[in-house]
Amino acid sequence: MPIIEVDSLSKIYPVALKQPGFKGTLKHFFQRQYRQIKAVEAVTFHIEPGEIVGFLGPNGAGKTTTLKMLTGLVYPSTGVVRVAGAIPCQRQRDFLKNISLVMGQKQQLLWDLPALDSLRINAAVYDIPEPIFQERLTELSTMLSLGGKLTQPMRKLSLGERMKAELLAALLHHPQVLFLDEPTLGLDVNAQVAVRNFLREYNQRYGATILLTSHYMADITALCERVLLIHQGKLIYDGSLEQLLDRFAPYREVRIELTESYSREALSFFGEVEHIDGQEVRFLVKRESLTQSIAKILENLPVVDLSVNDPPVEEVIGRVFDAGIVA
């Protein structure tokens, strides 16, 4: 049975309209008019227990609004949503104990206190007994490589260490469902890798379900086999990342270095020539004919070096959003 069920979920915000000037102000006061902004429109998807799903979309597409409805922070205008068998907006105690929301641009731990003090408060809120608290604290701090950092004030920690501490606080009560909104925002490469490795290990160890939004495609490619794409409030794709790339990037990029230069006309026999720079050539080759094309190149050209690459994932996703393609 799905742990997250979303059916025809929508959120519409009324936004007041106001004309400039004194006359416009008076009219706005006595005869206020509104227009309807559809932040999320008829979104439907189901997520099974233990899945890690990427939730992608440009700024303003409706990602954060959807996450807030899934966690009960925002009441939906229409539609049905259930998370861990509960209706989120009812904010029942058992539901709140089964979920957690981490937002990379916001923090829950107190700035001037050591993280350990805030974690003890969280343990009291979630009724976690002291022995279990100590056990989970040791386990999670080891997984996150926080060491003795928890006794330092939060303001003394680096951005990466603060993000790790926020994750520890969010997972102290062992939630079934974890919602992550840009968890690696602003982190350096090493910190991003550490957070990804932790999330993968946590998912494998506890079978937690994770819905992840990120503008860093490395987060998505490292953790998610399935992605949801939302554009202008509408869900336009729900499926595997691999199928998305196959569908919207049917070509592979073949780069070769030759011992001598060839004309574009001569090279076009081996595939679509994307670029020539002296003895370096880039071809675009259809995936289904890749093996045949490479064999032809190696057999007929004096190749010094050859590499095959997929087009960047960011480029493929951006192309989908620019076109507004509905899958």
- pLDDT of 26 higher than 60: yes
Structure tokens at 303: 């190749």
- pLDDT of 264 higher than 60: yes
Residue 100: beta bridge partners? 178
Rounded-to-5 percentages of helix, strand, coil across the chain: 40, 30, 30
The tens digit of pLDDT for each residue in 29-76 reads 888 888 889 999 999 999 999 999 999 988 888 999 999 999 999 999
The 8-class DSSP code of residue 225 comes to S
Residue with token string 């989970």: 136
Task: Using pLDDT thresholds of 50, 70 and 90, give the confidence band for residue 326.
Answer: low
The tens digit of pLDDT for each residue in 135-170 reads 999 999 888 888 788 898 988 888 888 888 988 999
What global pTM score does this model have?
0.79
CATH of domain 251-309: 3.30.70
Q: Where are the domains of the chain?
A: 4-245, 251-309
Helix ranges (H only) for 115-239 are 115-125, 130-143, 159-171, 189-206, 217-223
Task: Using pLDDT thresholds of 50, 70 and 90, give the confidence band for residue 25.
Answer: confident
| CATH class of the domain comprising 4-245 | alpha beta
The tens digit of pLDDT for each residue in 209-260 reads 999 998 888 888 899 999 999 988 999 899 998 888 777 777 788 999 999 9
**What would the mean pLDDT of 196-209 be, rounded to a whole number?**
92
Q: What is the pLDDT of residue 259?
A: 92
- Name the residue among 63, 60, 59, 61 with its Cα closest to residue 74: 63
